[in-house]
Each structure stands twice: as structure tokens, then as C-alpha cells.
Chains A and B, each alone.
Chain A
Amino acid sequence: MMDASIKIILALLISLEISFTTSISLNIALIVCAIIYLLCKRVNWKLMLYSIFLPILPAFGSWSSLYFYGTGDHIHMSFVLLTRIFAYIWIGSCFTFTTDIDKLLKSLEQNFRLPSTFVYGVLAAFNFLPRIAQEVKIIRLAARMRGEILHFYSPQIFFKAILTSLNWSNNLAQAMRSHGFAEGATRTHYHVIKIPIWNWFVALVIFIAVQIFLFMSPFH
């Protein structure tokens, strides 16, 4: 198992690199490798389909913008962007489909010294994700009962969201403190997450392989 924080660092580095390079073949190679990785991990096929269909519109949008409105090397660039957007999605999926925020934050805390106030604060808030989705619906429904329709550009919807965040954060922080969470105190860990050396090694090999591919590939 690759460690979650290594995975996200690698994903960020590679996606940053393909934001600035213009190699179609590298983008395609990354997509293929990501798909193979996800197949090996036996990711749910519905999630895989999601990663195929989701980027179609933005990818097509970027492709057609450059293809029809660009100048100079725009035909090549339009296909770079098309493949780049799919590469972003699939590289992202390698992270989001195979690990979770819990593992990531705990690894960041134990291996990268992220302060525990941040780790557990963010974690507490992320556990509210389903309730937040619900709350957005409630805010809009409550307004509709008063005959108002809230759009995403209505200040009220954001104001209500901020009010709710303030309330919940007070309650959550109090609840955590009453359960013994002390800010800045040293903690011991029940789940000790140590990053094995081979994780760093694999990450380095992948990163170097990307560079070699970029410079050696006859196709761009």
C-alpha cells in the first residue's frame, strides 16, 4: 500500500508538470498507467465509468476553444489540453478512489508534522460532508417556503451557510474539548502510520520515469 500523503504529493507534482509541458504522448501514457493501476486495485467499475464520462464536457470545451479560436500551434495545443484534462482526472482518481481523507490527514500529522489542531479540526468538519449537502438543500427549501428562490449568486445562501458553519464549529469544538482534545498537546497514536522506504523509492522511480519519457519520447 502506498502511503496517502506520498500519493497526493506525487499526484500534485506530476499534474503540476503536465500543466506546463505540452506532450500528448506523456498525457496518454499517464492516463494508461493510471487506468492499469486502478484496474489492479479493483476499483468499482461505476467509479471508473464516472472518470470516463465526467471530463468529456470540460475536455471538449477546452479542445474546441483552442481548435477554433487559437492561433499558431493551436491544433497541437488543443489535443494537449484534451488529453491533459483526462490525465488530471485519472491521476486524481488514483488518489481519491484508493485512499481517504482520514488516512491522508493522519499520515500528514505523523510524518509531516501537520499540527494536530488542523488534522482533527479538518477531519471533524469533513465528517459533516453529508450533512452539509443536506443543509444546502434545506436552506434553499426554507427560502422557497417564504416564496424566495435562492440562486448560487444570492448572498443569502452564502450568509446562511456561514451562519451554520459558525454554529456547528462552536458545537464541534466544544464537543471535542469535552472529549479530551487539547490544542497543542503531544498525542500518542493508536494507529501508527510509518512511511516505508520503498514508498519513497517507488515515488521517485515514477517521477524519474516521467522525466525520462518526456525527454526520450519521439512523439509529442
Chain B
Amino acid sequence: MQTTKKSSGWHLRDVIMLTLIAIFFGFIFWIWAFAYDAVAATPLKPFANDITLGAWIMAGPLAGYLLRKAGASFLGEFLAAFAEMIIGSQWGVSTLLSGLIQGIGGELGFALTGYKKWNSFSLVLSTLTSTIVTFGYDLYASGYTSYSLGMLITLFIIRFLSIGFFGGVLVAAITKLIDKSGILNR
């Protein structure tokens, strides 16, 4: 949480909103874990992680888009992971580690635009950095180094599609609904 030392830009309302959204996502993630199990129970097992991963990274880009602050994406993702762990995640304390890694991955995309662009370009960038960072982590944490190169490339593409759908297409659809409702132009 050290990325948010600058408390001047963060108001009580922002913090509460971010956390509430994170908890909503924590619940949705928690339910989503059973989808992972459903995929893991089929011959698609080795792909379960990468097929389902996208849903877990949604909180970050959405929080970034909603609050438009440096660190919002990271914090949103991290808090959602924390909420998921408190609710009772099947991955235990590693949920928090994944949240940390995914938060950094998502945040990087927005950081690369210097926090100036909050549009589909920064979303695409965020999905790309998320894919690369989380994949790098899984090389070690999920033992991916034991896979052949062909398998790794397949997994990487599947992961990018999953993150692209959930963190890109779905997040864009949600932000469109938000924009249309005008709730952000208070």
C-alpha cells in the first residue's frame, strides 16, 4: 500500500468506494473460483488457469477508469484480492500475492500513458502488461517452466485472450454503461 502515500489526492469517499467495489469483485472472484474448478475437472485442466484468469484482473482496470488516479488500479486489484482471501479463497495467502502481481500488471498499462489517457488504448495497454507480468510470475509460481515452448506459447495466447475479454471487452462495456448513465460527471 506504499504507492498511495500521497493522501491529499485520496478522499474518504474514494477510499470507501474503491474498497466497496473491491469487495463486490472479491465476491464475484470467489464465485468464479468454482468456474476454475469446473474447467479444472475436464481434460482442459492445464489451461484452466489461463482460461479463467481474465476475470480476476477486472477490478484493477475498472478502478483505474473510475477513479483516474495513479495507484487506483493497483489498490483496487489488491483490495479485491484481500477481500477474496477474507471471504475464504481456495488459494489462501497466495491470493494476496496474485493480487499484488496482477495489480502491478494492470497499473503498468495506465502508468505507461503517464496517467493521461483513460480510454480504450490505455485499457488495451493494461491488458497487455497484465498478461506479461502475470505470465512471468506464473513461470515460477505455477511451475510453467516445466512446460514445452509450444505449450507456453499456447498458454500465453489463451491468457491474453482471457484477459483481453474480461479486462478489455467486458470492462469497456461496463465503462460504456457508466458513461451513458452520467454518474461520474457529478
Binding site for B on A (CB under 8 A): 11-12, 15-16, 19-20, 50-51, 54-55, 57-58, 60-62, 64-66, 68-74, 77-78, 80-81, 85, 88-93, 95-96, 101, 108, 114-115, 117-118, 120-122, 124-126, 128-129, 132-133, 135-136, 152-153, 155-159, 161-166, 168-170, 172-173, 176-177, 181, 183-184
* With A58-B37, A101-B86, A176-B12: A15-B23 Cβ-Cβ less than 8 Å: no
Q: Could you tell me if A136 and B92 are in contact, using CB atoms closer than 8 angstroms? A: no
Asked if B90 and A125 sit within 8 Å, CB to CB, the answer is: no
Q: How far, in angstroms, from A50 to B88 measured CA to CA in the complex?
A: 9
Determine whether the beta carbon of A70 is less than 8 Å from that of B90: no
Nearest CB on A from B173, distance (A): 4
Which of B92, B143, B166, B178 interacts with A81 by CB under 8 Å? B143
Closest to A94 in B: B93
Residues B177 and A156 in contact, CB atoms below 8 Å apart: yes
Check if A19 sits within 8 Å of B141, measured CB to CB: yes
Which A residues touch B143, using CB under 8 A?
62, 66, 70, 74, 77-78, 80-81
Interface of B is mostly: helix
Provide the residues of chain A in CB contact with B85, threshold 8 Å: 92, 96
Q: A66-B143, A159-B178 are in contact. Are A165 and B91 (CB under 8 A)?
A: no
Cβ of A80 to closest chain B Cβ, rounded Å: 7
Question: Residue of A at shortest CB range from B15?
Answer: A121
Give the nearest-CB partner of A132 in chain B: B23
Closest approach, in angstroms, between the C-beta of A136 and any C-beta of chain B? 6
For B, the interface residue count at a CB cutoff of 8 angstroms equals 72
New A-B pairs, 14, CB < 8 Å, besides A91-B92, A132-B20, A157-B28 = A19-B137, A58-B33, A58-B40, A77-B146, A90-B92, A92-B85, A118-B10, A124-B19, A126-B19, A132-B24, A161-B24, A163-B183, A173-B16, A181-B12
B37→A155 contact, CB < 8 A: no
A125-B19 contact, Cβ under 8 Å, with A90-B92, A152-B31, A183-B11: yes
Chain B residue nearest in CB terms to A76: B146
| Shortest distance between the CB of A156 and any CB in chain B (Å) | 7
C-alpha spacing A206/B78, complex, angstroms: 26
Q: Which residues of A contact B23 (CB under 8 A)?
A: 125-126, 128-129, 132
Picked from B79, B89, B93, B177, the residue with its CB within 8 Å of the CB of A95 is B93
CA distance A165 to B46 in the complex (A): 36
Residue contact B62 to A71, C-beta cutoff 8 Å? no
- Cα A165 to Cα B14 with chains together (Å): 10
Chain A residue nearest to B21 (CB atoms) is: A165
B55 CB–A CB distance under 8 Å: yes
Task: Report the Cα distance A61→B36, complex, angstroms.
Answer: 9
* Cβ-closest chain A residue relative to B17: A169
* CA–CA, A165 and B63, complex, Å: 12
The verdict on A61 contacting B48 (CB below 8 Å), with A89-B90, A166-B183, A173-B13 known, is yes
Chain A residues with CB below 8 A from B66, complex form: 162
B178 to chain A, nearest CB (A): 7
Q: Is B170 an interface residue (CB 8 A)?
A: yes
B185 at the interface (CB under 8 A from A): no
Kindly list chain A residues whose C-beta atoms are within 8 Å of the C-beta of B49.
Answer: 61-62, 65
Residues of A within 8 A of B27 (CB): 132-133, 136
A residues near B96, Cβ cutoff 8 Å: 12, 15, 92
A-B contact pairs, 14 of them (CB 8 A): A61-B45, A70-B146, A73-B146, A80-B143, A85-B94, A92-B92, A92-B93, A118-B7, A118-B15, A121-B12, A122-B15, A125-B19, A162-B62, A165-B17
In contact, A125 and B20 (Cβ under 8 angstroms): yes
Nearest neighbor of B94 in chain A, beta-carbon distance: A88
- Tell me the minimal C-beta distance from B12 to chain A in angstroms: 5
